[in-house]
């Protein structure tokens, strides 16, 4: 995987190069994760267009996506797949958000997976606002469905914390505010790990979750691997 320099965004990675169980790697220019593409400046937009992007999947809620306008909104390559919000009480943790999101977003996740599989040839960009939580969940599911070992999926998830310069953000906060903000800003391995354990214990694993509550067929799950890895094991 490699960080991409799309000016205006800070958390953009091509997942190409990740190993796949049974041999091979994820193909480059196939799956890209990002923070909101509304942050791109003119130079960043040129980089996006030059990358051969076939589809953009925006996970932000409709109100988030309304303003500022998405640079690809209204075009045939743009899909807004708004994540179902999870109500959290004052004592809730980021793990609670992840578990609730998985339980409540099965239909949305199925729609996102189909939008990924059905995209024209080229890179598919998945993004939300920061490219960390909603995007992190979706990317983890796609990679695991394709056979990327869990440790590599977790390693990718953790990278968002440094890409977003969370330490610099936290340094400017008052101590009273820092603990809560930090708890929701970090991309700790135990956070995504808890979400994946939830899928194992509650649904029988990632593929079973995608197949049963999400309603994806075995052919669709196979298509995820085929798109990400290719018939010859990637390159």
Catalytic residue numbers read 128
Tokens 């930090």, located at residue: 182
DSSP assignment of 169-224: HHHTS-HHHHHHHHHHH---HHHHHHHHHHHHHHHSSHHHHHHTTS---HHHHHHH
Tokens 């942050």, located at residue: 39
Tell me which residue of 151, 137, 119, 46 sits closest to 83, measured CA to CA. Answer: 137
CA angle 156, 161, 91 (to 5 degrees): 110
Q: Give buried/exposed letters for 79-112 (b at 16+ CB in 10 A, else e).
A: bbbbbeebeeeeeeebbebbbbbbeebbebbbeb
């Amino acid at each position: 995987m490699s960080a991409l320099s799309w000016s205006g965004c800070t958390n953009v990675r091509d997942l190409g190069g990740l190993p796949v169980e049974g041999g091979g790697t994820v193909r480059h220019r196939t799956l890209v994760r990002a923070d909101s593409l509304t942050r791109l400046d003119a130079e960043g937009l040129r980089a996006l267009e030059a990358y051969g992007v076939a589809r953009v999947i925006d996970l932000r809620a409709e109100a988030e996506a309304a303003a500022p306008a998405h640079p690809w909104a209204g075009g045939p390559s743009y899909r807004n797949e708004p994540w179902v919000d999870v109500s959290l009480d004052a004592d809730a943790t980021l793990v609670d958000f992840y578990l609730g999101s998985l339980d409540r977003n099965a239909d949305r996740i199925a729609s996102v997976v189909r939008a990924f599989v059905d995209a024209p040839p080229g890179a598919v960009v998945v993004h939300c606002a920061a490219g960390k939580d909603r995007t992190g969940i979706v990317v983890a599911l796609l990679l695991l469905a394709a056979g990327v070992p869990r440790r590599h999926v977790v390693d990718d998830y953790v990278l968002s914390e440094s890409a977003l310069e969370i330490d610099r953000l936290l340094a400017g906060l008052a101590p009273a505010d820092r603990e809560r903000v930090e708890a929701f800003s970090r991309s700790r391995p135990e956070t995504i790990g808890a979400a994946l354990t939830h899928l194992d214990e509650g649904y029988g694993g990632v593929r079973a979750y995608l197949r049963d509550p999400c309603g994806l067929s075995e052919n669709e799950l196979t298509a995820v691997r085929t798109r990400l890895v290719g018939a010859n094991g990637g390159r």
